[in-house]
Structure 1
Amino acid sequence: MPLLSAVWRQTRPILSIYWMLVRITVPITIGTELLSRFGVIKAIAPGFAPVMNLVGLPGELGLAWLTAILVGLWGAVPLLFTLVPASALSTADVTVFSALILFAHGLPIEQSIIEKAGPKLLVTTLLRLFGGLLYALILHHLLAATGWLSEPVSPRWIPMAGTPDWPSFFLGLVKTLFWMLVILLALSFGLDLLRLSGLLRRIMAALSPLLRLTGIRGEAEHLTAIGLFLGISYGAGLLIREARSGAIPPRQVFLACAFMGFAHSVIEDSLLVMALGANGWGVLVGRVCFAVVATAALAALLARLSDDTFFTRLFEPLPTPQPEAAVQRAA
């Protein structure tokens, strides 16, 4: 049937991207869980204490920061008030710490996904780490100089730390993978419907002035907006398909990935840390403003780089997609 054939043509590229995400997510998730359970993360965390002191935080939070980097937000959040009592922290402290983990969390998975779109792994990882540190340092000095948010933190929610047993862990992983597929398919078909209805044009007209400040243009705007609101797994996941098709120029892909690294899943993640007592202006408004300025600076730098330098140092040329006929013959 023509309708089923059209649906399959739309679905097949998404299933290919989904399978790539599964191959990244499953081994890295299990590997980081093993590192956590065998105490490896805890053993190397003291080395991160000087970084915490640099941004005005207790050195003990180095373990929570490292856990966020390797495992993700939900691995770090329960550690915050376990390592340092809420009574010993100010709203400024929680806001600065939240900024750190919002910039750089779940890096093994998220950066592996970004790498598949073309930007080199080391470059974008360092951008997220140093971008987060720079923003946290600016925020710390601003809050210290003004005394703003110096009151004791008043969390609306204090999560309990706990390690699930292995069956619960794998069940949670399977549920995550299932919903990832559902959301990817919904986003793909939803984007097509939005395009056909003209709503996507209106939405992007509202967001375009913000994204254009960063140097991001055209189709890259749509996928960057998805990453901004829904997260890197979805924004960069869909970006892989467009980047490999040649629909988006490599420099635009790089800028989109850089921006998503600085600011992604801004609603869900910001609400999570605000429940811990972080200030919304610091973790949401300030973070997005920093992402715009930092990405605009990167755009200016990229404009000065030759193609040889760009593809040698920052971007891995993507494989050229096979023509449909060649794919069918290969099958």
Structure 2
Amino acid sequence: MSLIHKCRAQLIDIGRETAYTSWELIKITVPVIIFTKILAELGFIVVVSKVMEPLMGLVGLPGELGFVWATGMLTTLYGAIAAFAALAPALELSGAQVTILGAMLLIAHSLPVELIITKKAGAGLVPMAAIRLGGALVYGMLLYHLAELLQVWQEPAVIFFQAGDGGQGLAQWIEAQIINIGIIVVVIFCILVIMRLLRGLGVLALLEKLLSPVLPFFGMSHRAAPITVVGMIMGLAYGGALIIRETTTGVMEKREIFNSLALMSLCHGLVEDTLLMMAIGSKLAGILWGRLLFSLLLLYIIVRVSDYMRARTSPN
């Protein structure tokens, strides 16, 4: 088969995958868009913003973005993007603020689904929820204060998703949402192309090789480390499924199962989800490298505290 035919076959395959993925995500985003519009018209967004304002103020974000974060936690990242696109035009956001929001969404999103996955894999709902919610807030605060201290990302955010003027008519609003959905489809296509290229160039395999030797220092054996890396790159659902399969064999201890799931919960979808947040204007350093470093540091603290508590409670 010639190179042209191979490229054509790959593009057709990516096109099919884009259509399928887009349809699945449109089924989520369209209801969120409509729901957000109804809440905005009823003045409910203002109420939510006031309630969330003290919490979001800790990370330097306006209260309106609390609704975006809550939407992402209850639905998906695409649901959060839909809410963000509807609310962002009325807000004057900096690059730092969009990066903070993106980082918090990456750590804590799709909680109803993903917490069930980690529970089935062997971790408790409450500890995992606390790690993700607490981790998102702590990392958000760290990013906020670092950005203020170093005066980085203070320029106006470059936001690709727009919803138009708040005073527009219904027809114009619908047109703006159709454009936003079109942008989402284009973003999905680009992400799938990039993922294929990274896989073909061996970048994903290189990431696995770089991370695997490090993870045993964070309470994981050489059995758990490769599975954890796969989950961090491919996503929590995939990594959780591998953990569930391994637990049936009994070769992984409960402690390393918890540590593995904690790290995957804090830091998964390293490529695809990161690219998605970059599409709304988040900075790579904050949502990838900083998040990875923070996740490893937090897990290290969790492991050390757990070891200390175990040593104190164990009989001499």
When normalised by structure 2's length, the TM-score is 0.69
1:114 aligns with 2:114: no
Shift of residue 244, structure 1, vs aligned partner: 3.0
1:151 aligns with 2:174: no
Give SS of 1:105's match.
coil
User: Matched residue pairs, number?
Assistant: 241
Q: Distance in 1 between matches of 2:52 and 2:91?
A: 23
Tell me what 2:58 maps to: 54
Q: Distance in 2 between matches of 1:258 and 1:132?
A: 13
Tell me what 1:65 maps to: 69
- Which amino acid letter does the alignment assign opposite residue 104 of structure 1? A
Gaps of 5+ in 2: 1-26, 164-172, 178-204
Tell me what 1:22 maps to: none
Structure 1 residues 76 and 259: alpha-carbon distance in aligned structure 2, compared to 1, 3 A threshold: same
Q: Deviations over 1:191-239 (max 9, x none)?
A: xxxxxxxxx8x97553223323322222111211111101110001110
Tell me what 1:294 maps to: 298
Q: 1:115 touches 1:121 (CA, 8 Å); kept in 2?
A: yes
Give SS of 1:154's match.
coil
Q: 2:108 touches 2:132 (CA, 8 Å); kept in 1?
A: yes
Q: Distance in 2 between matches of 1:240 and 1:282?
A: 31
Q: 2:267 touches 2:292 (CA, 8 Å); kept in 1?
A: yes
- Which amino acid letter does the alignment assign opposite residue 281 of structure 2? G
Structure 1 residues 136 and 37: alpha-carbon distance in aligned structure 2, compared to 1, 3 A threshold: same
Give SS of 2:274's match.
helix
Q: Distance in 1 between matches of 2:64 and 2:210?
A: 43
Q: 1:98 touches 1:273 (CA, 8 Å); kept in 2?
A: yes
Q: 2:116 touches 2:125 (CA, 8 Å); kept in 1?
A: yes
Q: Distance in 2 between matches of 1:57 and 1:51?
A: 9
Tell me what 1:233 maps to: 237
Structure 1 residues 76 and 130: alpha-carbon distance in aligned structure 2, compared to 1, 3 A threshold: same
Q: Distance in 2 between matches of 1:92 and 1:144?
A: 9
Q: Distance in 1 between matches of 2:141 and 2:279?
A: 22
Q: Distance in 2 between matches of 1:134 and 1:210?
A: 23
Tell me what 2:224 maps to: 220
Gaps of 5+ in 1: 1-28, 165-199, 311-331
Q: Distance in 1 between matches of 2:253 and 2:74?
A: 30
Tell me what 1:269 maps to: 273
Q: Distance in 2 between matches of 1:294 and 1:115?
A: 20
Q: 1:213 touches 1:292 (CA, 8 Å); kept in 2?
A: no
Shift of residue 111, structure 1, vs aligned partner: 0.5
1:135 aligns with 2:139: yes
Structure 1 residues 88 and 217: alpha-carbon distance in aligned structure 2, compared to 1, 3 A threshold: same
Shift of residue 290, structure 1, vs aligned partner: 0.5
Match of 1:280 among 275, 280, 284: 284
Q: Distance in 2 between matches of 1:203 and 1:76?
A: 28
When normalised by structure 1's length, the TM-score is 0.66
- When the two chains are superposed, the root-mean-square deviation of aligned CA atoms in Å is 3.1
Q: Deviations over 1:227-271 (max 9, x none)?
A: 110111000111012123211110000000100111000111111
Matches of residues 176-187 of structure 1 in structure 2 within 5 Å?
Answer: none
Tell me what 1:196 maps to: none
Structure 1 residues 242 and 40: alpha-carbon distance in aligned structure 2, compared to 1, 3 A threshold: farther
Q: Deviations over 1:279-302 (max 9, x none)?
A: 100000000000111111111122
